Structures are given as C-alpha cells and as structure tokens.
Structure 1
Amino acid sequence: MTDILDDLAWRGLIAQSTDIDALRASLAKGPITAYCGFDPTAPSLHVGNLVPLFTLARIQQAGHRAIGLVGGATGLIGDPGGRNTERALNPVELVAEWVEKIRVQVSRFLDLTDEARGVMVSNLDWTAGLSAIDFLRDVGKHFPVNRMLSREAVSARLAGEGLSYTEFSYQILQSNDYLELYRRYGCTLQLGGSDQWGNITAGVDFIRRVEGAHVHALTVPLITKADGTKFGKTAGGSVWLNPEMTSPYAFYQFWLNADDRDVVKFLKIFSFRSREEIEELEKSVAERPFAREAQRALAVEFTTMLHGADQVVAVQTAAKALFGQGALQELDAATLGAALSEVPRVQVPALGASFVDLMADSGLVASKSEARRAIKEGGAYLNNEKVTDEGYIPTGDDLIAGRYLVLRRGKKSIGGVEVG
C-alpha cells in the first residue's frame, strides 16, 4: 500500500507533506482513512477541483478508505485565501442546493458501495448544532491568534482591505472538520490544494493539542499550463463538470486541444491509465505529435468518465460532421448547438441575410469581400454544401434542427448561425 506515494510522486501530485516518511510508515501498517473537502461556492465543481479529488480516488484504489466532504457549513462562510476582498455570502437555501449538486459530482469519482471503502459527509452535520459558546470554549481556545495571523492568506488580506471575523474563523471550522472525522472515522490524512496548506496544518495541530494524536497532511500542486494561462480556463470561462455549464462537446474539445507540452502532465493527473500506457502515449507525442493520440486518449477517457460513452460518440460524430465527414442533419440540436458555441457565430432573429453577409457577420471571414472571394475560389460551404452563388440567401429549408446553419471556409474554418 505504500506504493501509492511513489505513484503520486511520479504523477507530480505531491506538493507538501507534514512528514512523508511518517505517512509512508502509516500506510505500511494497513489501510488508513483520508479525506478531502469541497466547498459549494458554485453549482458545480470545475476541472481544477479534480486534482485533489482524483488524488483521493487513487488513494482509495490503493486499498484505503476515502471520505468526500462537502462544505455545507464552510460554504456559508468562505475561505479568505485567494481573494483581495470579502466574499459575498450566498443565501442559505442556495448553498444547500449547491451542496447536493457537488455531493453528486464528488460521488461519481469515489467508490461508496461500502462504508468501509468510502463515505460522503457534509460538515454542516456537526457544525449546525454547535453553539457559539461551545465553539469558543471547546474549539477556539486551541487556536493561538498570533499563529493564525501569520498564515499567508490572512496576512495578505490584513495588508490590504482586511477581513471580517467571519472569514478569519474559516480556518478554525476546517480544523474542526478534521477533528470530527478523526473521531468519527479514524481519519488520519487530509488532502487539499497547496493553497490550503495553512488551513490543513492547523487541523493537524488542533488534533495534536486536543487528542494528543499525530495525523498527516498532503497537498497537491496548483496546476499551471505551459503557455502561462490559467489551467481550467478557456475563452468562455471555467471548464465545469455540470453539462449545462460546460457542454460535453466543449469538455471533450478542452482536452483534445491540450498543448503537446501539457498533455502528458494532464494524463498523469487525470487519467487512470497505467504508467506503461502513459509512457507509450508520451512517446507518441514526441514521435507523432500531429496524430494527437495522447490528447484523444485523455479526452475520450475523461469525457466518458464524466458524461458517459454515448456523449463521447455524439461529440465525435458532431466534430466529424462539422468538417464534412458526416451528415449534419443527423445531429441532435443540443450537441450541434454546443459545437457551434465553440466557433465564430452570429445569432439572428430571422432569416433574410445573404450567405455573404452571414459569413462576415459570424466572424468567419473578416469582410464581405473576403466572403465573396472564398465563394469564387470554391472554398465556401453552407451545411457542407459548396456555395457558388454570391447572392444566395438561406431559407428555412437550410436550417438544421429548425434553427442552425453551419458555415465553413476551406477545410478547417467553421462558423455558425443561430436563428431565433
């Protein structure tokens, strides 16, 4: 069971540890219980949240018990880290709704068939009944204020606009979570992002003070991209797990479009393939980068894991059809709409504009003259049919699913029109 640490190190998933040798020794004695928490700050997790979650899943697959915690209580407060201003507090009812959505998402990646293998909890279960007096007497007295003030996230805020006692107390609540899970489940390892190091180690110290026990902390690194842009972001915003916020098509394309310099790192973090399989894909990146075998393997595996094999087929069919390798008319409206949302497009209230106007208005070409030139050169297409008439005006018969037109210039440049 200690092999899991070697595997995590190979995957680049160990940023900090309270004592890696002590953790290795604990793992060698038999199954341990580890947990990772996720606050409901939105109605969905995004791909960045999956770095610690996948790490927890790997630890579970190595034979240990996993606890997925959703912050029903801490989500009402807000972590002061990573922001310069106070977080706006969301309504209690909205946070409760988000808790359930995130609980479902976390559950998809953990084995919860047996409580001995894994459980899901909300920290509101033990925090809601805690009175202010009990909180101050039984919990707060164990936290030296000078040490809390020295935490990087806190000191950074104090140097700026400051922070409220509400956010200042977040660290205490998270530490109390670790103590509760230690008492209820024998949990001895907390996982989190490296930006959570101060909060996590505060919990380790809290358990030592209250129980006299030694527990562990392990953080994963914050993922960066080779081009310097933030991981998990696209021009349209964050890449979410909720298909209503990031469509399966966009999710698949995000991984398919991964930079060659990043894809092997992403495979190590987000794929459950073996080391040998990943090393073979790494070789293909070096020898046949044009084939994009590694990107395709990651996109298929991850999208299947999250959205199902049927959605992968739908996405791949749509991608082929957009580029003239399939029948556009056979695509369902949702998948086609999602695909067109990823390309230059224009929304019009009704048909009536010429094909040339739509080419320019969608942004597929820079001007109407460029659209006419594309037609003359034989490189302009409407729904994969070549357009030869510069004055052609699309009609209702051209609409796919009653609302879409697919524009193409040459073999690779796609644009879209949505009517209505």
Structure 2
Amino acid sequence: MELLQDLAWRGIIYQQTDEESLKDLLKKEKISLYCGVDPTADSLHIGHLVAFFTLRRFQMYGHRPIVLVGGATGLIGDPSGKSEERKLLTLETVQQNVEGIKKQLAAIFEFEGENGAILVNNYDWAGSMDIVTFLRDIGKHIGVNYMLAKDTIASRLETGISFTEFTYTILQAMDFLHLYEDHDCKLQIGGSDQWGNITSGLELIRKMHPEGSKAYGLTIPLVTKADGTKFGKTEGGAVWLDPEKTTPYEFYQFWINTADADVVKYLKLFTFLSHEEIEQLEKSVQEEPHLRKAQKTLAEEMTRQIHGEAALHQAMKISAALFSGDVKELSAAEIKQGFKDVPSFEVKTGMDVNLVEVLVAAKISPSKRQAREDVSNGAVSVNGERVTDPTYTLGESDRIEGQFTIIRRGKKKYFLIKY
C-alpha cells in the first residue's frame, strides 16, 4: 500500500496543500521532510507523538526525516491555540529543555543508515541573525495583510497580541526556507493548529525561490476521545515521555485503560501494526471486549516503543501484582513506580511496631477498635499475606529491601509504609 493511502486509512491526514502533486512526488523519489517541536518543557508528552510517529512512518518508507527542536521559536512563543501571551522562557531553560527532548527522540527515530534522521535546532540559524537582516531578507517577503488573515493571529486581535508573537509565524516560515535550501526539504508536517505556520513557510519559499520551487504541507487532525474529553490528560496532568514525570507503569496504565470506543483509533494512530493486525484486534473488541486484547496490545506497543522492553516487562509485572494482590515479589524500584500515588506513612528505620498501631497512625483504620476488628476479620494484608492476629508486629522480614511494607485493607485500598 502506498504511504499516503496508509496514512488516510489510519485517519492521520487532515489537510494537504497539493494532494495529487505530493502523491506523484512520493512515487518518483525519496524526499526529506520535517516536523518541529518547541521546547516549552524538558519532556515531550503523548500529544506530540502522532506527528512524530507520522514522520517515522515516512522514514519506514525510505524518506529522510528532519526533526527540528525550536531553540529559537521556543524563546518567542507560538500563539496557535492560545488566548493570551505565553510566559517567556529564559535561554538557559530552553537549552535545558532541548537536551531533555533530544534524548526522547532517539526512542522514535533511526538516526543511522541511508535515510537516517537529522536532528536540527533552529537557534543555530535564527539565534545569530541580526534584526536588520531579518527585516530585509525575510520580513520583506511576508505581507501584513497575509499574516492578519491567519486564524492564529486574527483570533488574538481583540484580546491583543505582541509584536513578538505576531512574528512567530515568520520565524517558523524561515525554518522551512532554511531546510528547503540546506537539506532539500520538500514537506512539513504538523498538527492541525500549525496549518497557518506551514503555509507561511510555503509562501516564503515561493517568494524567494519562484523558479520551479515546489514544497508541500500536511497536517494531522487533533486527537480526541469518543466522549469529547481531551486526549492525553489524566488526573495528574499530562502523560509525559520522561519516566521521572510519568513512570513506565503509569504510561502503560494510561493506554491499557483506553475505552473500547477509542482503542481501534489509537491503534491506527499510535502503533506500527499492520492493517491486518489492527483489523483482527477490532474484531476482538466487537466480539470479545472482556478480554481487552486491543488495549493490552496498545499498552504493550506504546510502552515498548518509548521505554523499551525491560520497562514494559516491569510495568506488566507491577500491573499483575496489583491485580492479584501478590505484591511481595516486587522490588523496591517497582514499588516506587506502582505505588507512587498511594497514601503513605513513614516509620523510623529499625523500629518494630504493632500492626494495629500502624493502621491507626497511618489513618488506614479510624480507631484501634476498628483496626483490631479489621485484622481479626481478615481484611488486612501485609505484603500480600493476610494477617489475622491483632498482636502482629511489623518486623525486618516485612520490609521489602528494607524500604517498604505494603498494607492492603479490603480488596483494593493499598497503603505504603516507608522506612
């Protein structure tokens, strides 16, 4: 199947500047294309993945991806989708963010080989450009009326937009021009909110290279959930690629909890599974939804892609332990992941303490009387083992790697004792 047909089947294409011409170009030659991200944080989140995975799909078809990290545009701020001015970041912060993002891109792209990905930073060419050169060589080719017609700018005219953010689209246009000239880059892809910025780049290329110049733009639809709520958000906020911000276990759980109504769409957008494999999983959703094969596959594919095989196995091990209640085999590192948001209570190291006293002190049970009843009735487990003796004392053998004891009250309420 041709690349653009595959993208259409997956629901990836939203807008194109010249569909037939691009289709012909991709049949005739292998091209260079790019997608960019501004380093507004030190980590990518899953909202960035569709565009970068689309770039990766082009690479799998033999094309060369150029991954742009906006060290310069990140200092300015994209007005797209914003109703007010962004808070400006310092150069030091942006540079730190750039380094964090670079590491994560290595999990997505192949940087070696004939069509190995190229990583660029627009601060390398925009950061050293003086204002007169920018105004004469670049600004002269972009009309104010043309910019005012852009939705991202027009939507801000009533609430106000600074000259800084007003010029953002010119800076991004300059990126496309630079990559067109230096890397023969023929295509820019991005989210649907980037259409105005992409077409500004095409306009600048057309103005500065009128003789036979041809470049293209393609945008990807905004990912939404079937119930209308925003994709990629949890109660704890964004789902990050940085394992320190969102652990591999939390990452795995996000995908495995996908609703039946969304899972096939996400398999198409986010995985590199074949049409046949996805169609089989779609059949499973329809005929045996209780098995949740599609969700398990989605969670495994995504966690493996971003965090690797070892982290996937660890996330699956934690998930199985929490489901079964058999938590004693977990390591301290796995407990830190799986019980990150569980209520905790700290006990001084080396102290043996009565279980009932711990239940009350940690507010697991409201009173000593209730705590004794809970233990006697078999409602309390220590590291997965039921304890029914109210005089039981938590000792050294109950401390996993000397750091944690896991107490469960009832079927699902977990508590973490730290030493």
TM-score, with structure 1 as normaliser = 0.91
What percent of counterpart residues are identical? Answer: 47
In the other structure, the counterpart of 1:264 is: 264
How many correspondences in the alignment?
A: 415
Q: CA RMSD in A?
A: 2.5
In the other structure, the counterpart of 1:63 is: 62
In the other structure, the counterpart of 2:163 is: 165
378-387 vs 284-293, which moves further: 378-387
In the other structure, the counterpart of 1:34 is: 33
In the other structure, the counterpart of 2:217 is: 217
387-396 vs 217-226, which moves further: 387-396
Q: Quote the Cα distance in structure 2 between the aligned partners of 1:102 and 1:300.
A: 22
Question: Displacement, 1:419?
Answer: 2.2
Q: Quote the Cα distance in structure 2 between the aligned partners of 1:358 and 1:228.
A: 44
Q: How does 1:302-381 map to 2 (within 5 A)?
A: 302-324=302-324, 326=326, 328=328, 330-342=329-341, 344-348=342-346, 350=348, 375=375, 377-381=377-381
Contact 1:362 1:415 in 2 (8 A): no
Q: Quote the Cα distance in structure 2 between the aligned partners of 1:152 and 1:418.
A: 54
Q: Quote the Cα distance in structure 1 between the aligned partners of 2:274 and 2:46.
A: 21
Question: Counterpart of 2:414 in 1: which secondary structure?
Answer: strand
32-41 vs 147-156, which moves further: 147-156
In the other structure, the counterpart of 1:10 is: 9
Question: Displacement, 1:79?
Answer: 0.5
In the other structure, the counterpart of 1:236 is: 236
Q: In structure 2, do the counterparts of structure 1 residues 254 and 179 end up closer, same or farther at CA, with 3 Å as the change threshold?
A: same
Q: Quote the Cα distance in structure 1 between the aligned partners of 2:71 and 2:46.
A: 21
Contact 2:189 2:220 in 1 (8 A): yes
Q: In structure 2, do the counterparts of structure 1 residues 253 and 357 end up closer, same or farther at CA, with 3 Å as the change threshold?
A: farther
278-287 vs 227-236, which moves further: 227-236
Q: Quote the Cα distance in structure 2 between the aligned partners of 1:356 and 1:217.
A: 66
Question: Counterpart of 2:156 in 1: which secondary structure?
Answer: helix
Question: Counterpart of 1:190 in 2: which secondary structure?
Answer: strand
Question: 1:56-111 deviations in whole A, cap 9, x for unaligned?
Answer: 10011112111111111111111112222221222212211211221222232122
- Aligned amino acid, residue 321 of structure 1: A
Instruction: Indicate yes or no: 2:205 matched with 1:207.
Output: yes
In the other structure, the counterpart of 1:110 is: 109
Question: 1:199-241 deviations in whole A, cap 9, x for unaligned?
Answer: 1111111111111223111011111112332211111111111
Question: 1:351-380 deviations in whole A, cap 9, x for unaligned?
Answer: 898756866887888999987775565343
Question: 1:152-211 deviations in whole A, cap 9, x for unaligned?
Answer: 222222222x12211111100000000010001111110000011111111111111111
Instruction: Indicate yes or no: 2:104 matched with 1:129.
Output: no
- Aligned amino acid, residue 248 of structure 2: P
TM-score, with structure 2 as normaliser = 0.91
Question: Displacement, 1:394?
Answer: 4.0
Q: Quote the Cα distance in structure 2 between the aligned partners of 1:87 and 1:102.
A: 20
Question: Displacement, 1:289?
Answer: 1.3
Q: How does 1:187-202 map to 2 (within 5 A)?
A: 187-202=185-200
Q: Quote the Cα distance in structure 2 between the aligned partners of 1:211 and 1:133.
A: 21
In the other structure, the counterpart of 1:179 is: 177
In the other structure, the counterpart of 2:50 is: 51
Q: Quote the Cα distance in structure 2 between the aligned partners of 1:312 and 1:219.
A: 31
Question: 1:313-360 deviations in whole A, cap 9, x for unaligned?
Answer: 2222222223446552x4232221110124x42343658987568668
Q: Quote the Cα distance in structure 2 between the aligned partners of 1:390 and 1:177.
A: 69
Contact 1:362 1:417 in 2 (8 A): no
Q: Which runs of 5+ in 2 are unaligned?
A: none
Q: In structure 2, do the counterparts of structure 1 residues 416 and 108 end up closer, same or farther at CA, with 3 Å as the change threshold?
A: same
Q: Which runs of 5+ in 1 are unaligned?
A: none
Contact 1:364 1:415 in 2 (8 A): no
- Aligned amino acid, residue 87 of structure 2: A
Q: Quote the Cα distance in structure 1 between the aligned partners of 2:279 and 2:130.
A: 54
Q: In structure 2, do the counterparts of structure 1 residues 250 and 358 end up closer, same or farther at CA, with 3 Å as the change threshold?
A: farther
Q: In structure 2, do the counterparts of structure 1 residues 103 and 86 end up closer, same or farther at CA, with 3 Å as the change threshold?
A: same
Contact 2:18 2:216 in 1 (8 A): yes
Q: In structure 2, do the counterparts of structure 1 residues 280 and 47 end up closer, same or farther at CA, with 3 Å as the change threshold?
A: same
Question: Displacement, 1:19?
Answer: 1.8
- Aligned amino acid, residue 218 of structure 1: L
In the other structure, the counterpart of 2:294 is: 294
397-406 vs 150-159, which moves further: 397-406
Q: In structure 2, do the counterparts of structure 1 residues 289 and 152 end up closer, same or farther at CA, with 3 Å as the change threshold?
A: same
- Aligned amino acid, residue 171 of structure 2: L
- Aligned amino acid, residue 42 of structure 1: A
